[in-house]
Copies of this chain bind each other. A is one copy, B any other.
């Protein structure tokens, strides 16, 4: 593992910035890329910040054919005075767990964080300031070896790209409709579901389209074995407030261990709430929604922060009919809203940082 400094080559052609109210997600990129290479002989080497540019990849590149690619997603926040990262160590820890599952080399987590800070500092003028906006950071590691053999990579590329992102909610928190997917499966125990690796996302597209056909924004994934226990909501973790206590699916191996999930569990415990990581039967949840015991439901993730769920929809396979239940009358729950506010304040450095979750990067421009 290299401890060499990061070489910085600044762009000669800075791009024009997109106005903050025009930012969407994932299509506008900053002026630079962080890059680092790995091979068996040299380990990680040549850490560098370079002008944003296309990659030159051999058509036989292992990541394209065999999905040997892992990634992370986190945000840099600008509160006007400072640029912060939120729990980036958790992302590098997860990246290394993902690396292990698909046989990619590990990163030195400390070095990766230092390099990330250096990269963000170079592109700090790209961190937006409008409430709800942020600079989305995407570390990506992939097999860049030119070979059609199915084997662990002998040449690997690690990069970080950055994309200024608009507010997820423009008109306040909007409750989602989730379609309960009991046919397509995202991941199975023993598979790659706990890893943030390329294949999980290709696997999820078809269910996602089906949810949209049924008028839902996302699907609620169930377990691969019995198609009965709740796993995730789209690419988010999911929480339930039932009879005043909090529940989220336990990490069985097929669920992505979200950083926001972990933070939410801590915030709830800090508030003195009873929280359970459990096996949650979707049939029970429908009943509890109907009789009002399921008081609130929300999803968590870096992109969506805390997103209320207002409606669950599922198909009766005998009649073909859709059945739906609403939660909290289909409205954003008060408790959900308070969690959203507590978390977003924390991320902007406005709350008390009890657990040392904030990492200061640099002064804002």
Contact partner of A54 (CB less than 8 A), chosen from B58, B149, B184, is B58
A60-B189 contact in complex given A149-B25, A205-B103, C-beta closer than 8 Å = no
Q: Does A26 count as interface, using CB distance less than 8 angstroms? A: yes
Binds B, one of A170-178, A190-198, A244-252, A334-342: A190-198
Q: Are A224 and B227 in contact (CB under 8 A)?
A: no
| A296 nearest CB across to chain B (Å) | 26
B-chain residues with CB within 8 Å of residue A187 when the two chains form the complex: 188, 191
Q: Are A68 and B191 in contact (CB under 8 A)?
A: no
Q: Are A140 and B188 in contact (CB under 8 A)?
A: no
Q: Does A133 count as interface, using CB distance less than 8 angstroms? A: no
Q: Are B224 and A59 in contact (CB under 8 A)?
A: no
A198 CA to B92 CA, complexed, in Å? 24
- A29, A65, A159, A187 interface centre (most CB from chain B within 10 Å): A65
Q: Does A27 count as interface, using CB distance less than 8 angstroms? A: yes
- Closest partner residue, chain B, to A191 (CB atom): B185
A8 CA to B70 CA, complexed, in Å? 36
Q: Are B140 and A201 in contact (CB under 8 A)?
A: no
| A103 nearest CB across to chain B (Å) | 4
| A301 nearest CB across to chain B (Å) | 11
| A210 nearest CB across to chain B (Å) | 11
Q: Does A138 count as interface, using CB distance less than 8 angstroms? A: yes
How many identical chains are in the complex?
A: 2
Q: Are B147 and A188 in contact (CB under 8 A)?
A: no
Q: Are B59 and A56 in contact (CB under 8 A)?
A: no
CB under 8 Å from chain B, chain A span 171-225: 183-192, 197-206, 208-209, 224-225
A–B Cβ pairs within 8 angstroms, 30 of them: A25-B149, A26-B147, A26-B149, A27-B60, A55-B59, A60-B163, A63-B198, A64-B64, A64-B69, A64-B198, A65-B140, A66-B202, A67-B200, A67-B201, A102-B206, A103-B209, A138-B148, A150-B235, A151-B205, A184-B190, A185-B190, A185-B191, A187-B188, A189-B224, A191-B191, A192-B203, A198-B202, A224-B224, A224-B225, A225-B225
Write the residues of chain A forming the contact surface with B, with a CB cutoff of 8 angstroms: 25-27, 29, 33, 52, 54-61, 63-69, 71, 101-103, 136, 138, 140, 142, 146-152, 159, 161, 163, 183-192, 197-206, 208-209, 224-225, 227, 235
With A54-B56, A183-B190, A185-B188 already in contact, 19 other A-B pairs whose C-beta atoms are closer than 8 Å: A25-B148, A26-B60, A54-B59, A59-B161, A63-B63, A66-B198, A67-B197, A67-B198, A67-B199, A102-B203, A103-B205, A136-B148, A185-B190, A188-B224, A191-B191, A191-B203, A199-B199, A199-B200, A199-B203
